[in-house]
Amino acid sequence: MTNLENNRVTKLLNVEYPIIQAGMVWASGWRLCSAVSNAGALGVIGSGSMYPDILEENIIKCKAATNKPFAVNLPILYSDIENHLEILFRNKIEIVITSAGNPATYTPILKEHGIKVIHVVSSKRFAEKAEKAGCDAVIAEGFEAGGHNGREETTSMVLIPLVSSAVSVPVIAAGGIATGRQMLAAMVLGAEGVQVGSRFVASEEASSHINFKKAIINSSEGDTILTLKELAPVRLIKNNFYEEILKAKQNHATVEVLRELLGKGRAKRGMFEGDLEEGELEIGQVSALIRDIKPAAEIVKEIWLQFREALGNPLK
Amino acid sequence: MTNLENNRVTKLLNVEYPIIQAGMVWASGWRLCSAVSNAGALGVIGSGSMYPDILEENIIKCKAATNKPFAVNLPILYSDIENHLEILFRNKIEIVITSAGNPATYTPILKEHGIKVIHVVSSKRFAEKAEKAGCDAVIAEGFEAGGHNGREETTSMVLIPLVSSAVSVPVIAAGGIATGRQMLAAMVLGAEGVQVGSRFVASEEASSHINFKKAIINSSEGDTILTLKELAPVRLIKNNFYEEILKAKQNHATVEVLRELLGKGRAKRGMFEGDLEEGELEIGQVSALIRDIKPAAEIVKEIWLQFREALGNPLK
């Protein structure tokens, strides 16, 4: 497997497997992050749902729980980003995954601090911007991914080759990947690594509410949808909250009305507090393939073994 | 490549390569169909845009142009389907690909006539229905595909493993496939063959208007969208006609108003007559990767060579 030995993602991140756990809000605290890193993949703390003090606490606990590399996900549009940056610098975070914003804004200052920067994109255009801004790699996230997503709606099958052919930095594929065969498919399409989100929400260490984890393993095809395109497109499980969005739209709701309906705390209410009807449940289409909740280390091992098996026998 | 030798799709169809040309409206007449079949893949006549006499003429000309197997695509919701069926039987068509409707409706009568039946699905649920109805294979078509599509919006990355694990008949993947690497990715995910649409529209033999072919090779990411979900979801290139749809929706148009706006002949006007602004231009997201118009035989050869190369070297 010569090409795996030269894999630029494992080299860049100094990890055993080119698998990154996505920094999902309300799921990705120090427990999940350290479990994934200890298993040989890259754990990520999702700062998008954390106040600065909570982020710092998670970083400190994560460092106590693993000696392996881990990263912090930083949504660029986060309101208190200057405080977050200060915490990343103070705690000597080595890898930062930026998302939801212009890569040119913070990449230079992160690089000045010697941090490796990976930016999440949903288009070739933004991948080129990220490369130009000095990012070390890009994560190409397809339409099937959970949570916030691009307006182009380009799926992984098309986005991965589009982005791979446009940039020379390594491309990490995200969206629709929960198994080793999906990982291999992404790498056949030109990715050098994968970012896995939904599968890790249904892990024992995710801080997500057990109701939400059970909703994932009980979901089936067509249960998620990309919605709220008037604000920022987000993929979630259809529930009563989603029905309310639909009703509001049928009544010709303005953007302001939709923003008020979403309100503050919807995501926390759904994913962290377990309100399956009135909360926001961000998850990917691949949830239809996830049937059990298990330790994160087992998920890493399973994906890797499936990937190796598939690589040896690509046509089933 | 032992598994390729046992490929169930090539055996079922009696073709050299497990590649099927999609039966696209206004593109797939006898010229494209026979060129693809002569190149070792399965050509398909798209009857959805043909009156009965035109269909019969195309079948007769196709038989004169190739001794290889070919198929006819039959949209089940076609208004004059009884006449179409009569023509298929009279001309001893051996393979029929049904789409856009319930597989239980016509599979039995087609099977009675000794015809191999493949049904196009966009969900696991319909794949199971198709298998139960006696179909010999299913085509699993992802959200990224051009033309009419499912309401679940499941992408190829998720749909192929979902369908493959649900049925025991061979699964042929469609949606987002224009290169050999995409073909291999689909097969890694569990497909035993692929159906290629958009790539063959940009072929010399497609009966599509040259303006439309040029629009495809000049398109980029985000240029197509799945729209008209109020009627039947269809993926098309955004143009003035699409802007009119948007405007109508902003004005709270009813289903009837949208149906009137679509009218009759939009598809012909766009894809066959070359009106790029007022016509309907059905194409897949993968058009962003298609950069040239070439003979169908070269497309078949190119995909197959890329596929074999990728199989020998799956990690670039």
- Residue-level pLDDT at A146: 98
Output the DSSP codes for chain B. Answer: -HHHHT-HHHHHHT-SSSEEE---TTT-SHHHHHHHHHTTSBEEEEGGG--HHHHHHHHHHHHHH-SS-EEEEEETT-TTHHHHHHHHHHTT--EEEEESS-HHHHHHHHHHTT-EEEEEESSHHHHHHHHHTT-SEEEEE-TTSSEE--SS---HHHHHHHHHTT-SS-EEEESS--SHHHHHHHHHTT-SEEEE-HHHHTBTT--S-HHHHHHHHT--TT-EEEE-TTT--EEEE-SHHHHHHHHHHHTT--HHHHHHHH-SSHHIIIIIT--TTTS--B--GGGGG----B-HHHHHHHHHHHHHHHHHS---
Question: CA of B178: which chain A residue's CA is closest?
Answer: A158
| CA pair distance B275, B257, nearest whole angstrom | 22
pLDDT score at B316: 78
B94: confidence class by pLDDT, cuts 50, 70, 90:
very high
- Same domain? For A180 and A78 the reply is yes
Instruction: Please answer whether residues A113 and A89 qualify as being in contact, where contact means their C-beta atoms are separated by less than 8 angstroms.
Output: yes
User: Is residue A84 classed as helix, strand or coil in its secondary structure?
Assistant: helix
Q: Is the pLDDT of residue B2 over 60?
A: no
End-to-end distance of chain B based on CA atoms, in angstroms? 19
Shared-domain flag, residues B304 and B241? no
Reported as a single tens digit per residue, the pLDDT across B274-316 is 999 999 999 999 999 999 999 999 999 999 999 999 999 999 7
Name residue, tokens 């039947």.
B232
**A115 in a structural domain:** yes
The fraction of chain B above a pLDDT of 90, given in percent, is 95
Residue in A122, A131, A312 with CA at minimum distance from that of residue A235: A122
The structural domain count of chain A equals 2
- Parallel, antiparallel or unpaired: strands A137-141 and A116-121: parallel
Inter-chain touch B158–A288, beta carbons under 8 Å: yes
Instruction: State yes or no: pLDDT of A123 exceeds 90.
Output: yes
Same domain membership, residue B19 and residue B139: yes
Task: Indicate the pLDDT class of residue B49, thresholds 50, 70 and 90.
Answer: very high
Tell me the backbone φ, ψ of residue B239, rounded to 5 degrees.
-145, -165
Tokens 């033999």 identify what position? B205
Residue type present at position A198 = S
Does B295 lie in the same domain as B146?
yes
Show the tokens assigned to A14. 């100094």
Q: Residue B218 has which token pair?
A: 């000049």
Query: Cβ–Cβ of B222/A154 closer than 8 Å?
Result: yes
Mutation choice for A interface testing from B4, B220, B230, B315 by most A CBs within 10 A: B315
**CATH number, domain with residue A139:** 3.20.20.70
Rounded average pLDDT over A200-224: 98
Q: What is the ipTM of this complex?
A: 0.97
What is the distance between the alpha carbons of residues A184 and A312, in angstroms, rounded to a whole number?
A: 11
Identify the pLDDT of residue A1: 45
- Residues whose CB is less than 8 angstroms from the CB of residue B28 and which lie 6 or more positions away in sequence, other chains included: B21, B22, B43, B44, B45, B46, B73, B200, B206, B207
- Average pLDDT of the residues in A100-122: 96
Chain B residues with CB under 8 Å of A144 CB are: 143, 154-155, 157-158
Contact between A142 and A175 (Cβ < 8 Å): yes
Amino acid (1-letter code) at residue A129: K
Sheet order of strands, A234-237 included: A147-148, A234-237, A224-227
Starting at the earlier edge strand, list the strands of the sheet with B43-46.
B19-21, B193-196, B171-174, B137-141, B116-121, B95-99, B70-75, B43-46
pLDDT above 70 covers what percent of chain A?
99
pLDDT-derived band at B62, boundaries 50, 70, 90: very high
Q: Give the pLDDT confidence of A19-51 residue by residue, as tens digits.
A: 999 999 999 999 999 999 999 999 999 999 999
Asked whether residue B197 carries a pLDDT value surpassing 80, the answer given is yes
Is the model's pLDDT at B170 over the cut of 60?
Answer: yes
Cβ neighbour number for residue A164 with a 10 Å cutoff: 22
Is B313 buried (19+), middle (13-18) or exposed (0-12) by CB count in 10 A? exposed
Interface test with A, best of B5, B152, B158 (most A CBs within 10 A): B158
Pairing of strands A147-148, A234-237: antiparallel
CA atoms within 13 A on the CB side of A39: 27
Distance CA A10, CA A306 (A): 18
pLDDT tens-place string over residues A274-283 = 999 999 999 9
Q: Please give the structure tokens belonging to residue A255.
A: 């953007």
Contact flag A184-B187 (C-beta cutoff 8 Å) = no
Q: Verify that A100 and A247 share a domain, yes or no.
A: no
Alpha-helical regions (H) of chain A: 2-5, 8-13, 30-38, 52-65, 81-90, 103-112, 124-132, 156-164, 180-188, 198-201, 210-217, 240-250, 255-262, 266-267, 296-312
Contact list, B316 vs chain A (CB under 8 Å): 3, 164, 187, 190
Number of neighbouring beta carbons within 10 Å of residue A24: 26
Do residues B130 and B226 share a domain? no
Using DSSP's 3-state secondary structure scheme, residue A273 falls into coil
One domain for residues A299 and A160: yes
Could A175 and B157 be called an inter-chain contact, meaning their C-beta atoms sit closer than 8 Å? yes
So what's the pLDDT on residue B1? 45
B148 and B280, same domain (yes or no): no
Chain A: closest CA distance from residue B241 (Å): 19
CB atoms inside a 10 Å sphere around CB B214: 14
Q: Is residue A212 part of a domain?
A: no
Asked if B157 lies within 8 A of A156 by C-beta distance, the reply is yes
Rounded mean pLDDT of B212-238? 97
What global pTM score does this model have?
0.97
**Residues B137, B78 share a domain:** yes
Least CB-CB distance to A162: which of B157, B225, B288?
B288
In a domain, A129, yes or no: yes
How far apart (Å, rounded) are the C-alpha atoms in residues A135 and A109? Answer: 11
Spatial distance between the Cα atoms of A154 and B122, rounded to a whole number of angstroms: 17
Q: Which residues pair with B226 in a beta bridge?
A: B235
DSSP A203: B
pLDDT of residue A269: 98
Q: Does any domain span residue A87?
A: yes
Same domain, A15 and A30: yes
Domain holding B297, by residue range, is: 2-207+289-312
Asked if residue B214 and residue B179 are part of one domain, the reply reads: no
Residue B3: band (very low, low, confident or very high) from pLDDT cuts 50, 70, 90: confident
Q: What is the pLDDT of residue B231?
A: 93
Q: Within a 10 A sphere around the Cβ of A293, how many other Cβ atoms?
A: 17
* A221:B285 CB<8 A: no
Residue A213 lies in a domain: no
By CA distance, what is B4's nearest residue in A? Answer: A315
> Which amino acid is it at B250?
Q
CB burial readout A85-95, b (16+ within 10 A) else e: bebbeeeebbb
Query: For B134, left (φ over 0), alpha (ψ -120 to 50), or beta?
Result: left
Residues A168 and A248 in one domain: no
- CA B103 – CA B118 distance, rounded (Å): 9
Is A161 a residue whose pLDDT tops 70? yes
CA distance B313 to chain A (A): 9
Tell how far CA B287 is from the center of its chain.
14
Calculate mean pLDDT across residues B264-272: 96
Task: Say which residues have a Cβ less than 8 Å from residue A72's Cβ, sequence separation at least 6.
Answer: A23, A44, A45, A47, A55, A59, A88, A93, A95, A96, A97
When the pLDDT of each residue in chain B is averaged and rounded to a whole number, the result is 96
Residue of A9, A315, A13, A127 whose CA lies nearest to B314:
A315
Which residue of A2, A177, A308, A315 to mutate against B (max B Cβ within 10 Å)?
A315
Residue A197 resides in a domain: yes
